[in-house]
Amino acid sequence: MSVTVLIPTALRQYAGGKSEIEVEAGTAGEALDKLTGEYADLRKHLYSDSNALRNFVNVYVNDDDIRHVERLETPVKDGDTVTIVPAIAGGAATEGEVVEAKHGAAVEALPTLSNEEIARYSRHLIMPEVGMEGQRRLKAARVLMIGTGGLGAPLGMYLAAAGVGHLGIVDFDVVDESNLQRQIVHGTKDIGRPKIESARDRLSDINPHIAIETYETRLTSENALGLFRDYDVVVDGTDNFPTRYLVNDACVLTGKPNVYGSIFRFEGQASVFWAERGACYRCQYPEPPPPGLVPSCAEGGVLGVLPGIVGAIQANEAIKLILGAGEPLINRLLLFDALKMRFREFKLRKNPECPVCGDNPTIKELIDYEEFCGLKPQPAVATANHEEEKRLMEEITATELKQRLDRGDDIQIIDVREPNEFEIGRIPDSNLIPLAQVVNRMSDIDPGRDTVVHCKAGGRSAKAIEALQRAGFTGHLANLKGGITAWSNEVDPSVPKY
Ligand SMILES: [Zn+2]
């Protein structure tokens, strides 16, 4: 049987850069075996050491999750599509229920519209799916947006324009020049301002009839439940796994729908996770990927228009939930590929064993999400072996490196960034070996010479050094502190920062 395996963007670097691969197989497991037989690096991303399919990787045959069919034994036939859907750092409601839960069922209890508002919303009012009643529901609704970044920008602008009466915005970041390629709610004049202030000004200008509440804070296990209780719908525009799980669990515990979106390079996901009606994020992804395995947008990049499309889908879903119109994305995962311009849809199911929304939940209050996602350093155990492993990684500053090079010291510089980052700017005489290849290409690094490893800011190069040491590299390795960004700041400002 010839089947097509679709490879997600984040894993293509381990599959020779290919987006789809034809294999001969009789089951989903066989298809994956054939694939990982050909691309060995891919295997450790898909399977654990005990050969089980990893929890943050879901596999579909056509639009069915194999966990709900026969798992890896799920049969495939000629022409079938096997899709790998990893987590990426992202029943029909009856009428107007999310608003009614708070404001009572009676239409008379909904706020009325002024003549100015009637003029403003006229294109909605003449639609049977919205009408006066729907517009009054929108005015009564309270939507909490987590983040005013790439997804939050279009989301906030469309929700404000549509007349959602109360918008809450949670963010603690300030506007940076590199945000403006996609975060269209902010402008050049806002660089350096808190994002919530910049967003509030823009949204109030779009629609002065709505109330905007801003929370300049990081969403935490301490403040999430209190914040969520005050809102009807929560829209997740975050960019990291701890906050995604926190948003999910807080939504489950407070009974709120979670309008989800996530983006990476040119690929997006969207869904509505609402535990009372269907699957939650944890049903879909019980565990986060280990830190560093799935790159963030800051590391991997994102096409500027992509969050515009995915954020607009989230705004659409939030508005539908408020109106009680149409078919929400409950129990459906929408995948969007901007490069192929293709939407695909997969069925989701509630997992009865889900630790937060299942039949016997073990998570009954919010937990430490940094720890859950493996982002907290484990306490060092003071044994000789661990001491050995934990030896401090040697660092060199950009200024020291420049001094040593000027002195004529023999140093090889290994740049572990991606080729397109190398194109933006480089340290003279450096050799490019991207992080994903560094162990396989260890023989390109001369262990007899002093070696300085660098990336953009120092994180990936530290991982490269650890990986090389684990793989038995014997040479002397030092990490360039602050990466090429520090080189630009301290040594050569003509090297562009990005
Ligand atoms: Zn669940």
The answer to whether 337 touches 12, Cβ cutoff 8 Å, is no
| 3 state DSSP class of 204 | helix
The answer to whether 166 touches 143, Cβ cutoff 8 Å, is yes
Computed on alpha carbons and rounded to an integer, the radius of gyration of the chain in Å comes to 25
**394 Cβ partners below 8 Å, 6+ apart?**
476, 477, 478, 479
The answer to whether 254 touches 227, Cβ cutoff 8 Å, is no
Q: Which positions are catalytic?
A: 297, 455
Cα(300) to centroid(ligand 1), Å: 29
Q: Which residues surround ligand 1, an ion (CB under 5 A)?
A: 280, 282-283, 354, 357
**140 Cβ partners below 8 Å, 6+ apart?**
99, 102, 103, 110, 111, 165
Q: How far apart are the first and last CA of the chain?
A: 47
- DSSP code for 137: H
Cα(12) to centroid(ligand 1), Å: 29
Tokens representing 485 are 């960004």
The answer to whether 182 touches 265, Cβ cutoff 8 Å, is no
The answer to whether 39 touches 15, Cβ cutoff 8 Å, is yes
Cα(396) to centroid(ligand 1), Å: 46
Q: Could you list the beta-strand ranges (E) of 287-436.
A: 332-337, 342-347, 395-396, 411-415, 430-432
Q: What is the pLDDT along the chain (498 residues), one digit of tens a residue?
A: 899 999 988 788 888 889 899 999 999 999 999 999 989 888 888 888 888 888 888 899 998 999 889 999 999 999 999 999 888 764 333 444 565 544 445 677 899 999 999 999 999 999 988 999 999 999 999 999 999 999 999 999 999 999 999 999 999 999 999 999 999 999 999 999 999 999 999 999 999 999 999 999 999 999 999 999 999 999 999 988 999 999 999 999 999 999 999 998 999 999 999 999 999 999 999 988 877 666 666 777 889 999 999 999 999 999 999 999 889 999 999 999 999 999 999 999 999 999 999 999 999 999 999 999 887 765 544 444 444 444 578 999 999 999 999 999 999 999 999 998 999 999 999 999 999 899 999 999 999 999 999 999 998 999 999 999 999 998 999 999 999 999 999 999 999 998
Tokens representing 300 are 């991997």
Q: What is the pLDDT of residue 51?
A: 85
The one-letter amino acid at 247:
V
Q: What is the pLDDT of residue 386?
A: 44
- pTM score: 0.77
| 3 state DSSP class of 187 | coil
Q: Where are the alpha helices (DSSP H) in 407-446?
A: 419-424
Cα(358) to centroid(ligand 1), Å: 6
Q: What is the pLDDT of residue 162?
A: 98
Cα(209) to centroid(ligand 1), Å: 37
The answer to whether 231 touches 99, Cβ cutoff 8 Å, is no
- How far is the C-alpha of 174 from the C-alpha of 176, rounded, in Å? 6
Cα(271) to centroid(ligand 1), Å: 13
